[in-house]
Amino acid sequence: MSEKITETEVRHIASLSRLKLTDEQVDAFAGELAAILSYVRQLEEVDVDGVEPTPYAVELRDVVRDDQVCPSFSPEQATANAPQREGSFFKVPKVLDQGAP
Amino acid sequence: MRTVKQTITTIQSRDMSATEAVRESLDAIEKRKGDIGAFLSVHGERALEKARDMDQRIAAGERNLPLAGLPVAVKDNMCTDFGKTTCASRILENYSSPYNAHVVDRLQQAGAIIVGKTNLDEFAMGASNEYSAFGPVRNPWDTRRVAGGSSGGSAAAVAAGMVPAALGSDTGGSIRMPASLCGTVGLKPTYGRVSRYGLVAFGSSLDQIGPLCKTVEDAAILLSAIAGHDPRDATSINESVPRFELGLDAPIRGTRIGFPRSFFVEGLEESTRRCVQAAIEVYRDNGAEIIDIELPHVKYAVACYYVVATAECSSNLARFDGVHYGYRALNPADVFDLYAASRHDGFGPEVIRRIMLGTYALSSGYYDAYYLRALRVRTLLRRDFANAFEKVDAIIAPVSPSTAYAIGEKSGDPLAMYLTDIYTTAANLTGTCAMSVPCGFDDQHLPVGFQLMGPVLAEQRILALGHQYQLHTDHHLAEPN
């Protein structure tokens, strides 16, 4: 693990997070993330050999239910909060014929 | 201000109408509207209409309304099919939920009347309630100081006598921290005890809804109303729910209370230590056995928590994309830019910081070193608590390392703010129940709370212990000017 977070790394993480950052933010995050991660790295002291991970603290069991038709939102309700829509469709910029970002 | 118990019994005996109770609450909110910032929206007309309707139902002799006419507030990260649900974020500033959270349905079915929605740290991410996009919550005991977060609006509203009770959510201490700093009771139930359906998700394996109120008995009454299985939350526990308020008589005598000495050694403000120590003596004087316990991995809880919580946050907040709901940036170059610009403009700095941290911890090359390792440490923490709860019935601990600090004091240093969660995150990571109870004041007359922690589904036990403590003390009766 690197001790410092580079500007390139911050931009990569921002891109994975789908976040646009200003240059000042990139600069600030490089320092802040490094400080927080260096604190978090104390977890390296702990001997976790053979220890199972706990994604949920309370034991979960599979839940099954009957396959029944239930009331749900109308397309009108489901799209009511969309910032842009056309009829009951969500409107987005063109996604085809473009290289991946 | 009346307690929940007093309010509902006064209404039941017809000495006060629901309309009067709601009007009183709305007046109290209006009076301190400007200087505390507890509410993001107040729904006065709707509440009065519901109250008049409730008065008719009471007059008609309707039963099964345990909270008939009780004015309550809910944190603004719980969906309501009226008004806005903003999560104190620009990205949801104009969001109108088409449905109610499970807890909102439960409160209303029990006869409670929602008067408004309370301020919080944006998306419940913060420990001071300074990270709200709509201004901080100020502490009713001293408005130059923080209320604690993230359920700061709910705690301040109860402390200032605006409502007898409010709901908050707790992912790493967000009910208990503001309860402690504002001098109210705050209960984080066992993970899965209360349905999360309609709670805007932050850390899905950690989030839990619970009540903030003046007394432990009130917390018991509220928990009885909101707890229980809900098929719409796959992690909801299918266990019977007692009427917690009827089980508060268990005596302190003979109870074994765990004392984690390491919590009291360093980093704890002296006046806070003194107050918590005095609470321990109340238990000892009343016949509890105080037993030293070791929680060897608890010193790693904050580090573990900030990996797990931010990882879950980065995944949960992916849904805010400027397409389905919420803020959308204008004139994006392409669909990637639409996402990235909407999220940049819509999220505040702490939310962006946590999404970045979580994305980092989950990213290729770092997943094993950070996320998977944190989940393994979480297992060791669970074992620590399981071992402790074999020897003791409950654990007593501080809630916050200090009383309320000045607004602006820590907000510039994210790590310093994270470290204030030192006593609270373990209960979320281990899924256990925990409650903050007022236990006195520091030299500046700022409230101090202590924490009672219990095993999974042992709410009844810590509620009884907390209630018995309040029968012997009067700290919970103090009110800010």
pLDDT tens digits, B183-229: 999 999 999 999 999 999 999 999 999 999 999 999 999 999 999 99
8 Å CB contact of A17 and B356: yes
Q: How distant is the Cα of B301 from the closest Cα of chain A, in angstroms?
A: 9
**CA distances (Å), origin B113, targets B16, B22, B24, B31, B84:** 15, 8, 13, 20, 17
List of chain B residues whose C-beta atoms are within 8 Å of the C-beta of residue A64: none
Element containing residue B419 per DSSP (H, E): helix B414-419
Q: Is the dihedral of CA B140, B141, B145, B148 positive or negative?
A: negative
Cβ of residue B188 closer than 8 Å to a chain A Cβ: no
Q: What is the pLDDT of residues B396-430, one digit of tens each?
A: 999 999 999 999 999 889 999 999 999 999 999 99
- CA atoms within 13 Å, Cβ hemisphere of A1: 17
* Residue A2 pLDDT class (50, 70, 90 cuts): very low
Subunit contact B356:A19, Cβ cutoff 8 A: yes
Q: Is B150 a catalytic residue?
A: yes
CB contact under 8 A, A53 and B205: no
* Contacts for A32 with CB less than 8 Å, ≥ 6 apart: B353, B414, B415
Question: Has B299 been annotated as catalytic?
Answer: no
With bands split at pLDDT 50, 70 and 90, how would you rate the model's confidence at B232? very high
pLDDT category at B266 given cuts 50, 70, 90 is confident
Q: How many Å apart are CA B31 and CA B380, to the nearest integer?
A: 49
Q: Which of B205, B356, B373 sits opposite A56 (nearest CB)?
A: B205
- Residue holding tokens 């005598």? B253
> Which amino acid is located at B195 in the chain?
S
Cβ B205–A63 below 8 Å, yes or no?
no
- Residue B337: strand, helix, or coil: helix
Contact map slice: A 25-84 vs B, CB within 8 A? 25, 29, 32-33, 35-37, 39-44, 46, 48, 51-58, 60, 63, 65, 73, 77-78, 80-84
pLDDT by residue (tens digit) across B335-346?
Answer: 999 999 999 999
Mean pLDDT of B57-81: 97
Q: Please report the DSSP string for B339-358 in residue order.
A: HHHHHHHHS-HHHHHHHHHH
| Three-state DSSP state, B130 | coil
CB B189 within 8 A of CB B223: yes
pLDDT tier at A1, thresholds 50, 70, 90: very low
pLDDT over 70 percentage in chain A? 92
Return the residue of B nearest to A48 by Cα.
Answer: B376
Would you call B369 an interface residue with chain A, using a CB distance cutoff of 8 Å?
A: yes
Q: Is B115 helix (H, G, I), strand (E, B) or coil?
A: strand
As given in the structure block, the two tokens for residue B281 are 């003596």
Query: Do residues B200 and B233 make contact, with C-beta atoms less than 8 angstroms apart?
Result: no
Quick check: is B174 catalytic? yes
Question: What is the token pair recorded at B320?
Answer: 């805010």
Which segments within B11-63 are labelled E, that is strand? 39-42
For residue A91, give how far its alpha carbon lies from the nearest alpha carbon of chain B (Å): 7
Å between B313 CA and nearest CA of chain A = 11
pLDDT for B282 beyond 70: yes
Residue B82 in contact with partner chain A when CB distance is under 8 A: no
What pLDDT shows up at residue B265? 84
* C-alpha neighbours within 13 Å on the C-beta side of residue B434: 33
pLDDT in tens, B349-402: 999 999 999 999 999 999 999 999 999 999 999 999 999 999 999 999 999 999
Please count the other Cβ atoms lying within 10 Å of the Cβ belonging to residue A96: 4
Q: Across chain B, what does the average pLDDT equal?
A: 97
Would you say residue B177 has pLDDT above 70? yes
Q: Tell whether the model's pLDDT for residue A58 goes beyond 90.
A: no
- Structure confidence at residue A63 as a pLDDT band (50, 70, 90): confident
Instruction: Look at residue B258 in the predicted model and tell me its pLDDT.
Output: 98
Q: Over 60: is that where the pLDDT of B107 sits?
A: yes
What pairs with residue B437 in β-bridges? B450
Alpha-carbon separation of residue B416 from A3, B126, B237 (angstroms): 20, 12, 35
Predicted complex ipTM exceeds 0.90: yes
Q: Which two tokens stand for residue A45?
A: 């002291």
